[in-house]
Structure 1
Amino acid sequence: MTVTEDEKKRPKGERAGKKRGSLRETVGLIAIGVVIALLLQAFVIGQFWIPSESMQNTLQIGDRVIVNKLHGSADRGDIIVFRGWDGSDTIKRVIAVGGDTVECCDAKRRISVNGVPLDEIYVHPDDYPSKRKFKTKLAAGKLWVMGDHRTASSDSREEYNGPVDEDDVIGRAFAIIWPFSRATILSRPETFARVR
């Protein structure tokens, strides 16, 4: 580092004080950055690691997804992370919301919401919409959630599970970030646009 003639004329103590001030500024900025990152992690953005096959093929075991914790209301087709029936964080797809009637299955073995059959292209290719028949009208504030790999998913179809409270939703998964080879945005399937 070169010292200018003006700086040479200043007393050494003044130059040392300036260096200490710069170091304090740098440490302060780093501390502020860490606090902001922690606040974002706690209240805005989170990560979730996929522990099981219940969302295959959309999500694979070991995938890491980014979750928007400021998601607003969950909508049909969203992939959400919520406090599960056993108290642990769980990830599933929202099929129906409060006020909807969800039913399985029609003559073509499709699930319908409010009488509209769903073309569920996201369901695991070796699977079917549901083995179990059901018909439920959801109360306000409730969500009907199911895994995309239906035979490997414990979800709202189970009597001891049932619908999820909207208050238990942690956030909406909006992207796969790991592994990089699978990185993608998770969008809402078109089939839900027809449901009223």
Structure 2
Amino acid sequence: MDTEAQHTERGPSSDTDPDRESDTGEGPRSARVSEDSAASDEPDGAPSWRRTLLVGAACVAFLLLMSHFVAQPFLIPSRSMEPTLQVGDRILVNKLAYRFGDEPRRGDVVVFDGTGSFVREEPEDDPVGGLLRDGAAALGLAEPAETDFVKRVVGTGGDRVVCCDEDGRLTVNGTVVVERYLVPGDQPSAVPFDIVVPPDRLWVMGDHRSQSSDSRDHLGSPGGGMVPVDKVVGRADWIAWPFGRWSGVAGTDAFDAVPAPPTGGHPTGPAVPGTGSRG
């Protein structure tokens, strides 16, 4: 009897039992408290570390794809292109500029792979380190590879480029080129030369001629200092960093008056005393 009475007395109290499912069907109170505590550990809208990792990886992959196919950032490490480009500038190279049949023109500032023309091809000693360096360079976070160069196109296939005339000026196809983009006080070249650019090749020079190692310095190298057109990475179109220099890379009209090379080629023989024509 006592047992039955006690059982009967406890019956009504079961409505307040924390583990009993409420009439609303929300489940036991203890379960709800545990769920609420777990939810309170992470604020509403705060992404998990997995989501952050995935978003970061997707952003890096997108940037790498962009830099490979569309526009690649490059860090300028030297003074060879002053005043147009300065040390520490990060430029964006338009990789679509020459993808659809167009080719580099006189006056373009281009980035190219100098392997075989400016530097000899050497095997990569550390493939993993090379991969990491290339990835960082592709994002503009590290200096470009030692085989990458940025210069201005001065002569294209068939052009005869001569320096210097009696007044110390550069000529292309017999026309004087007034190079206003040079560093004030620099002469077009301290080394005389007279060359004819082969087809599908480029003659390139830096804007800071006294500080630039360019086609002039590789006349005796394989290729004669001429850069194959298919080694051009793209055209330097924008300065993206620092913000104070955020602008497009200025073009030039210095070559507007230069005629096309003659159909039959240029006459042989030196055009400058003391130089020889290199075809």
Deviation at 1:37, TM superposition (A): 3.3
Q: Which residue of 1 aligns with 2:77?
A: 51
Rounded to whole Å, the distance in 2 between the matches of 1:62 and 1:33 is 24
Q: Does 1:183 align with 2:246?
A: yes
Once the two structures are superposed, residues 30-81 of structure 1 have per-residue CA deviations (whole angstroms, 9 ceiling, x without a partner) of 5766544332111111011111111111111111111011121111001111
- Superposed, 1:95-114 pairs within 5 Å as 95-114=154-173
SS of 2:255's equivalent in the other structure is helix
Partners of 1:50 and 1:160 in 2: how far apart?
A: 26
User: What SS class does the counterpart of residue 191 from structure 1 fall into?
Assistant: coil
Q: Counterpart amino acid of 1:129?
A: P
Question: Matched residues in 2 for 1:194 and 1:45: separation?
Answer: 31
- Structure 1 counterpart of 2:253, which letter? E
Quick one: distance in 1 between partners of 2:161 and 2:64? 39
**Where do 4+ consecutive residues of structure 1 move more than 6 Å?**
none
The whole-number CA distance in structure 1 between the counterparts of 2:74 and 2:61 is 21
Match of 1:6 in 2: none
Where do 1:150-169 residues align within 5 Å?
Answer: 150-158=209-217, 159-161=219-221, 162-169=225-232
CA distance in 2 between partners of 1:195 and 1:184 (Å): 27
Q: Displacement of 1:160 after TM fit?
A: 3.6
Q: How does 1:131-170 map to 2 (within 5 A)?
A: 131-158=190-217, 159-161=219-221, 162-170=225-233
- Within-5 A mapping of 1:28-67: 35-67=61-93
C-alpha separation in 2, matches of 1:116 and 1:184: 31
After superposition, the CA RMSD in angstroms is: 2.8
C-alpha deviations, 1:141-180, integer Å up to 9, x for none? 1100000010111111122451111111111100111111
- Aligned partner of 1:79 in structure 2 is 109
Residue 230 of structure 2: SS of its match in structure 1? Answer: helix
In 2, distance between residues paired with 1:180 and 1:32? 26
1:124 equivalent in structure 2: 183
C-alpha spacing 1:36/1:54, structure 2 compared with 1 (3 Å): same
Provide the secondary structure at the position in 1 that maps to 2:64: helix
Q: What is the SS of the residue equivalent to 1:192?
A: coil
Q: Gaps (5+ residues) in structure 2?
A: 1-47, 120-145, 260-279
Which letter does structure 2 place at the counterpart of 1:67? Answer: V
Structure-2 separation of matches of 1:56 and 1:169: 21
Ranges in structure 1 where 5+ consecutive residues have no aligned partner: 1-22
Residues 160 and 50 of structure 1, relative CA distance in 2, 3 Å threshold: farther
The percentage of aligned residue pairs carrying the same residue is 46
How high is the TM-score relative to the length of structure 2?
A: 0.58
Distance in 1, matches of 2:59 and 2:205, equals: 38
Length-normalised TM-score, structure 1 = 0.81
Question: For the residues of structure 2 that align with 1:160 and 1:183, how far apart are their CA atoms?
Answer: 38
Cα separation, 2, equivalents of 1:180 and 1:33: 22
